[in-house]
């Protein structure tokens, strides 16, 4: 055991293990410059941050020594210790955020290297009401902020219709994975306009300069639950100042169309209505 000195006080790295939650001793990691990169802690330790005091079992740092991410819990999931077991130890934390005072169970809290809050990652089942430029939205998984404190992105807890440069689109990703809340399905630009939507419930029609039209819709794939069923693959639509990009295949490069000369129309797309008697068990 060697105590690690940081801008946030002295931290005691993990140096023992147990048979359930911590089945191995994790190493302290360092940046190439020699500064500490991450420290798994022997005991949950309260860390004072600009967002408030946060209990930590794992802390990572930027190269300048400021906190990158705090994990209140850091148990190892296994056949002996489940996510439900770990969730039983989670306690709500109260944080000062750009959207006001928040009290929620968090998987992690991330900061920029200037100490401003970057993102909150919520425990599965937790939701948070977020005021956005498109109105209040109930978020799951996480919400991220710009360094200036504006809402950058969030993961809608249920399908939500938002205004875009192509008209109203429904943001929701049934396949969203709650690894962290840094990047999400509904994204806003610096002006507060929607600049990216991940959707299974919107069709995008493009009118090309020569007058012909093409419709982009979410594709389908064989369901992970049953070979006899199909499920919808979320489609990503991104708006920039000069172009609109559409991605219907996560393994392929997106189609990029210049805004000049093209016209874009969004409208509802309900793929499950093609076969209304078969429920989609794995997605929406």
Closest C-alpha among 160, 57, 34 to residue 107: 57
CA of 73: how far to CAs of 42, 86, 154, in Å?
Answer: 11, 8, 22
Mean pLDDT computed over 117-131: 96
Do 222 and 233 reside in the same domain of the chain?
yes
Residues 135 and 170 in one domain: yes
Q: Tell me the per-residue pLDDT of 174-189, one tens digit each, with 9 for 90 and over.
A: 888 877 889 999 999 9
pLDDT tens column, 199-248: 999 999 999 999 999 999 999 877 666 666 778 899 999 999 999 999 99
**Sign of torsion, CA 265 267 272 273?**
negative
Number of domains in the chain: 2
Q: Indicate if 107 and 89 belong to the same structural domain.
A: yes
Residues 210 and 256 in one domain: yes
**Do both 51 and 147 map to the same domain?**
no
Where a domain ends, among 91, 125, 159? Answer: 125
Three-state helix/strand/coil letters over 192-252: CCEEEEEECCEEEEEECCCCCEEEECCCEEECCCCCCCEEECCEEEEECCCEEEEECCCCC
27 and 142 inside one domain: no
Name which of 248, 246, 284 is nearest 265 in CA terms. 246
pLDDT for the residue 279: 44
Do 135 and 260 fall into the same domain? Answer: yes
Q: Which domain holds residue 77?
A: 1-125
Whether residues 139 and 260 fall in one domain? yes
Say what the pTM is.
0.89
């Amino acid at each position: 055991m060697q105590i690690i000195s940081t801008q946030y006080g002295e931290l005691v790295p993990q140096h023992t293990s147990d048979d359930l939650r911590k089945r191995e001793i994790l190493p302290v990691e360092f940046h190439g410059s020699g500064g500490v990169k991450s420290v798994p802690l022997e005991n949950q330790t309260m860390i004072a941050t600009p967002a408030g005091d946060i209990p930590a079992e794992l802390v990572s740092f930027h190269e300048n020594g400021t906190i990158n991410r705090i994990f209140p819990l850091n148990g190892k999931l296994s056949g002996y210790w489940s996510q439900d077991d770990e969730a039983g130890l989670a306690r709500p934390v109260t944080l000062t955020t750009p959207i006001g005072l928040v009290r929620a169970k968090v998987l992690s809290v991330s900061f920029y290297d200037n100490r401003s809050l970057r993102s909150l990652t919520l425990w599965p089942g937790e939701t948070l009401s977020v005021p956005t430029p498109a109105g209040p939205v109930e978020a799951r998984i996480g919400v991220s902020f710009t360094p200036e404190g504006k809402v950058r992105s969030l993961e809608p807890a249920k399908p939500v219709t938002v205004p875009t440069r192509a008209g109203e689109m429904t943001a929701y990703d049934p396949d969203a994975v709650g690894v962290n809340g840094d990047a999400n399905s509904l994204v806003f630009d610096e002006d507060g306009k929607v600049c990216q939507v991940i959707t299974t419930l919107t069709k995008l029609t493009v009118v090309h300069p020569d007058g012909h039209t093409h419709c982009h819709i979410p594709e389908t794939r064989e369901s992970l639950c049953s070979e006899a069923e199909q499920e919808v693959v979320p489609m990503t639509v991104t708006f920039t100042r000069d172009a609109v990009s559409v991605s219907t295949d996560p393994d392929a490069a997106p189609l990029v169309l210049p805004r000049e000369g093209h016209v874009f129309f969004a409208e509802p797309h309900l793929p499950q209505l093609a076969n209304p008697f078969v429920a989609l068990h794995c997605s929406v």
